[in-house]
Amino acid sequence: MSSPISIVLIEDSEDDYILTEEALSEGLAGTDYSLQWLDHAPDPDLFLEQYDPDVILIDYSLGAVNGVDFARDIRERNAFVSIILLTGLSARVFEEVDQQVEGVGISDFFPKKEVSGATLSRSVRYAYENSIQRRQLQEQAATIEDILLRTEVVMWRESKLSDQEGWECFCSDSIQKLSGYSKQEFIRRRMQLIDLVAASDCERVRKAYSEAPSGELKLRYRIICYDQSERWVEETRETIRDPDSGEILKVVGCLRDITREIESESMQQLMAKSLDQSSDAILITDANLERPGPKILYVNKAICRMSGYSESELLGQSPRIFQGPKTNRKVLNRLRSKLLAGDNFQGMTTNYRKDGSEYILSWRISPVVDSSGQVTHYVSTQTNVTQEIRQREKLKEQENFLSEIGSMAKVGGWRYRKSTDHLYWTDQIYEIHAMPVGTPISIDDALSLYSKVDQLALKNAWHTCLDEGVPYGLTLEMRDRRGEHKWCHTQGVPMWVNGEIEGVWGVCQDVTESRKRSLELEQALRDANHANEAKNQFLMMMSHELRTPLNPIIGFAELMLSETTDPEQCAFLKQIQFSATHLVELIGEILDIASIESGRIKLESKAFSVSALIHEIIEMFQPSAQEKALSLEYLDAAHGDSDTPLICVGDESKIRQILINLLNNAIKFTHEGTVRVELLPPALNASEVDVTVLVRDTGIGIRAENLDSIFDRFYQVDQSASRKYEGQGIGLNLCRELAELMGGTIHVGSEFGVGSVFTLKLKLPRHVPEGPEPRSEGANTCLEERGQVLVVEDDAMNRLVISELLQSLSITHVLAEDGFEALHYIESERFYLVLMDIQMPKLNGIETTRRIRSGTSPNSHVPIVALSAHVVDDIKKEAIEVGMNDFLEKPITLSKLRTFFEQTLF
């Protein structure tokens, strides 16, 4: 059922109202309608809201209000209501009003006097139908607007304004949702779509518009919305041009927001690009797991690079194309069952390239599921891990190697981190400590295995390393978990991280074996040293014991020689003298070697003339040279033109010993020709002298192959039983030891059958003499005039021989048997010199000297010269320390005694 026609009459005259009311009731009889009467023009908004009329009948003149103006107000607010204007004006004025009414949207206008039931009802009916149609149109338009709003499509129309002032653009309401501008704003501001286009697209769009032929055109561009945001739109436009001039008359079209499409399009493009350019190889197949297997639908470039196949060679194939003999079937079976269960799969196996070469592939396959839960595809991400696997294998091999070495060397590594308070041990360290590998271990556990003392040392070292970064290395005694006694050497260094000490790490080695060996060695060395010491003690004692009886043998032989004229007896005595002297020398040499070995030998520092020393030795050897008819020469080039003798500071007796040995050998091994000693011009500087002495002979020479060995101890070139040269092979060895002890060298040069030359080189401090020379001939005074000598000697034979010797030199002397007797003499008589034996029973020479020196007798400063068969440096040193002035070695010979008295300045 249709609703009643709602009619509102706005009429200020009640009569006219009644007239109109009667006309309507007559004309609309049988029609459902309502009539409301208002006697003035109301507020249009309130009016429309309150009455919502279908037809408004309005008087032209409503007092001050013009009915046409009111009708215009209503029309602006409502496009559908029908307005009928009634007027009581004259025909002339009526024509004027008729013109005013144009464009206001009034459906009918007639004079009141023409109002009748028939005319008015016809006009009202017509107006009502119009209103209904317009309402329907409005509803349709609203529906379209709604659709447009929902679909976010904007319908629009641009038409050229007739006044040539521009264009008018009508848009659907949805323009507001799209652009933020309302359709009214478009009209009010005379906006066109081009006004929305973003500057960057504007030129392109304008060009397209102007060039667009009649018909449809699609364009995509960006617009700038009211809130300045940017959106993508797609415009479809239909251009209507003047067929003659080609001028654009009208454009209609629609606009669609495609921002999201564009975004998702570019996202899709990005994803496609990412997939394609991904360094991970990606392969997509369909979900067919049955024979012939899933079909490859997509491969990215990395797959092609990795496999050597092109995209077209792979698409449509099954991934079996990559498999080969080494491809692990078990892995493939696992893959299949996982995929059948709809699970992800991760695995590794060998694949094959197009050229047949192998590579190890790690791959992960995930099923793609559609909205119904059905697996539609498989996506596989693949990585070539050949390098990593090979490196891992290599690393594993190295680790095993290191571990093997560690086991062999019983050495392992450890690491402690402060931050985690965690101590890590390698397997070898567990082995060393006899603990199951992997047992959790704390610092205290580790420490508890060491001995108490070592625990403390290790704790200290550990904390110093951890706090101050000081590395350590300790050999520690421990008991392993099985209680086995062990030694291990542990080293720790700080672990620096970003300039901070994060912990300590290091190595630990089981050194039990080497420690045991070194302890054994140390013990063996101690034993050897004791044995050596015992040997040296024995040698010293033997030397003393042997020299003591030799002293009288040599002395008496010498004395008898001076008194005997019988040539046969002379020869025997000489033989006795020679053999005894040789024996003494031998004892001396053995003792010297023993002293050097035990480090007992001390060097003396006394000023002496090298030239004078060589002279003395040459003199000594003249007789034996003459005996062999050899010429013994001395070439002294030390002084040059200077008269000043060259005085050095050093151990004269040791240099003498070396030169005697060399000269002795030279004479021994030379049968004809010359033995010559040369003192080369020394290289001098303010404080030192380079002394070079050559001992040259024209003897048997030494073969080149023996030259290196002759300085070895007990070495002799001719070792056969029928040797014609006596000797023990000690001399040269002693010479070299002594030379080296003094910081010098000794070398040999020789030509077999031609001769040899031995060169002694020494660097000695230079002595600048202040007083008289040490070897001056100052002792001119007659020996017997000097006063009497006290001889202290416990051995009766020695006393006798010394006494005889002194007597033969006309030196008055007194003999004392021991120290006490000597002290007695010292107290009671005056002496020029004391010759004091060292080793004596009761009171020995050292003690006797100490007492003399500390006594108050006039003899307390008397020169005391030791007379001893003890020739080791220690005893000499002790003798000098207690105040003895010099040392005379036994056996004492006449010549030795004479030289002593002649040269001593006491």
Residue closest to 835 by CA, chosen among 869, 864, 874, 814: 864
Pairwise CA distance, residues 489 & 472, whole Å? 10
- In terms of Cα–Cα distance, which of 426, 430, 409, 408 is closest to 482? 430
Which residue minimizes CB distance to ligand ADP?
727
Q: In this complex, which beta carbon is closest to ligand ADP, that of residue 446 or of residue 746? A: 746
Q: Is 346 left (phi over 0), alpha (psi -120 to 50) or beta?
A: beta
Q: Residue 478 Cβ, how far from ligand ADP at the closest point, in Å?
A: 53
**Of the candidates 137, 894, 145, the residue with the CA atom closest to the CA atom of residue 573:** 894
CB of 710 vs ligand ADP, minimal distance in Å: 4
User: How many residues belong to the site for ligand ADP (CB under 6 A)?
Assistant: 21
Of 107, 665, 692, 848, the residue at the interface with ligand ADP (CB under 6 A) is 665
- Min CB(625)–ligand ADP separation in Å: 13
> Least distance (Å) from ligand ADP to the CB of residue 723?
8
Q: Which is nearer to ligand ADP, 448 or 728 (CB)?
A: 728
DSSP-derived secondary structure for 56-100: EEEESEETTEEHHHHHHHHHHH-SSSEEEEEE---HHHHHHHHHH
Q: In sequence order, which residues have a C-beta less than 8 Å from that of residue 48 and are 6 or more positions away?
A: 74, 77, 78, 81
Question: And the tokens for 626?
Answer: 């003459």
Structure tokens at 861: 């400063």
Q: How far apart are CA 139 and CA 133, in angstroms?
A: 10
CB of 553 to ligand ADP, least distance (A): 22
> Quick check: bond before 891 cis, omega within 30?
yes
- Judged by beta carbon, residue 443 or residue 741, the one nearer ligand ADP is 741
889 token code pair: 């070695």
Residue type, 20: T
Nearer to ligand ADP, 6 or 716 (CB): 716
Structure-token pair, residue 101: 């009414």
Residues linked to residue 694 through DSSP beta bridges, in sequence order: 678, 759
Residue 765, amino acid: P
DSSP 419: T
CB of 624 to ligand ADP, least distance (A): 14
Stretch that binds ligand ADP, among 150-158, 471-479, 487-495, 721-729 (CB under 6 A): 721-729
| Contact (Cβ atoms closer than 8 angstroms) between residue 664 and residue 705 | no
- Residue closer to ligand ADP by CB (options 746, 816) is 746
Task: Give the span between the Cα atoms of 277 and 411, in whole angstroms.
Answer: 50
Least distance CB 614 / ligand ADP (angstroms): 17
Minimum CB distance to ligand ADP, residue 660 (Å) = 11
The yes or no reply on residue 693 touching ligand ADP (CB under 6 A) is: no
Q: Does 697 bind ligand ADP (CB under 6 A)?
A: yes
Which residues 6+ apart lie within 8 Å of 5 measured at CB?
28, 31, 32, 33, 34, 54, 55, 124, 128
According to the binding rule CB under 6 A, does residue 698 interact with ligand ADP?
no
Instruction: Compute the least distance from the CB of residue 618 to ligand ADP, in Å.
Output: 16
- The length of the chain in residues reads 906
SS3 label, residue 883: coil
Least separation in angstroms between CB 891 and ligand ADP: 21
Query: In 10 A of CB 231, how many CB atoms?
Result: 19
**What tokens appear for 153 in the block?**
């499509």
Please select the residue that binds ligand ADP; options are 367, 555, 699, 819, rule is CB under 6 A. Answer: 699
User: Which segment (132-140, 242-250, 700-708, 842-850) binds ligand ADP by CB under 6 A?
Assistant: 700-708
Give least dist CB 854 to ligand ADP, A: 46
Lay out the site mask for ligand ADP across 407-426 (x = CB under 6 A, - = otherwise). Answer: --------------------
Looking at beta carbons, which pairs linking 774-782 to residues 24 or more positions away fall under 8 Å? 774/606, 774/607, 774/608, 774/609, 774/647, 775/608, 775/609, 775/612, 775/903, 778/905, 779/901, 779/902, 779/903, 779/904, 779/905
Closer CB to ligand ADP, 37 or 715, in the complex: 715
Min. distance of Cβ 752 from ligand ADP in angstroms? 9
Please, which residue, 283 or 702, has the CB nearer to ligand ADP? 702
Q: Segment near ligand ADP (CB under 6 A), from 35-43, 355-363, 505-513, 696-704?
A: 696-704
In 3-state terms, what secondary structure has residue 130?
A: helix
Rounded to whole angstroms, the Cα distance separating 509 from 526 reads 27
The encoded tokens of residue 541 equal 């004692």
Pick one of 700, 764, 834, 866: the residue that binds ligand ADP (CB under 6 A): 700
* Nearer Cβ to ligand ADP (85/625): 625
Side chain identity at residue 580, one-letter code: A
- Give the residue, chosen from 359, 505, 715, 901, that forms a contact with ligand ADP under the rule CB under 6 A: 715
Hey, is 894 helix, strand or coil?
helix
Span near ligand ADP by CB under 6 A; candidates 93-101, 713-721, 831-839, 883-891 = 713-721
Please report how close the Cβ of residue 608 comes to ligand ADP at its closest, in angstroms: 24
**Which stretch in 30-38, 297-305, 663-671, 830-838 sits in contact with ligand ADP by CB under 6 A?**
663-671
Beta strand 55-59 with 5-10 is parallel
> CB-wise, 46 or 629, nearer to ligand ADP?
629
Given a contact cutoff of 8 angstroms between Cβ atoms, the answer to whether 637 and 591 are in contact is no
Regarding 115 and contact with ligand ADP (CB under 6 A), the answer is no
Nearer to ligand ADP, 298 or 715 (CB): 715
Q: Which of 172, 490, 756, 859 binds ligand ADP (CB under 6 A)?
A: 756
Q: Which is nearer to ligand ADP, 341 or 714 (CB)?
A: 714
**Residues 367, 339: contact at Cβ < 8 Å?**
yes
Out of 85, 306, 702, 738, point to the residue binding ligand ADP (CB under 6 A): 702
Residues 285-324, one symbol each (x = binds ligand ADP by CB under 6 A, - = not), give ----------------------------------------
Contact between 669 and ligand ADP by CB under 6 A: the answer reads yes
Pick the stretch among 222-230, 553-561, 571-579, 692-700 that binds ligand ADP (CB under 6 A).
692-700
Percentages of the chain per state (helix, strand, coil), in multiples of 5: 45, 25, 30
Using the rule CB under 6 A, which residue among 449, 710, 822, 892 binds ligand ADP?
Answer: 710
Phi/psi region, residue 105 (left: phi>0; alpha: psi -120 to 50; beta: rest), is left
Residue 480 Cβ, how far from ligand ADP at the closest point, in Å? 56
End-to-end CA distance of the chain: 171
- C-beta of 281 vs 587, nearer to ligand ADP: 587
Beta strands 864-868 and 606-609 are unpaired
Q: Identify residues 724-753 at the interface with ligand ADP (CB under 6 A).
A: 727-733
285, 428, 512, 716: which one contacts ligand ADP (CB under 6 A)?
716
Give me the least distance between CB of 740 and ligand ADP, in Å please. 15
Least distance (Å) between residue 545 CB and ligand ADP: 23
Residue 163: how many other CB atoms lie within 10 Å: 6
For 295, other C-beta atoms within 10 Å of its C-beta total: 15
Give the binding site for ligand ADP (CB under 6 A): 665-666, 669, 697, 699-702, 710, 715-718, 727-733, 756
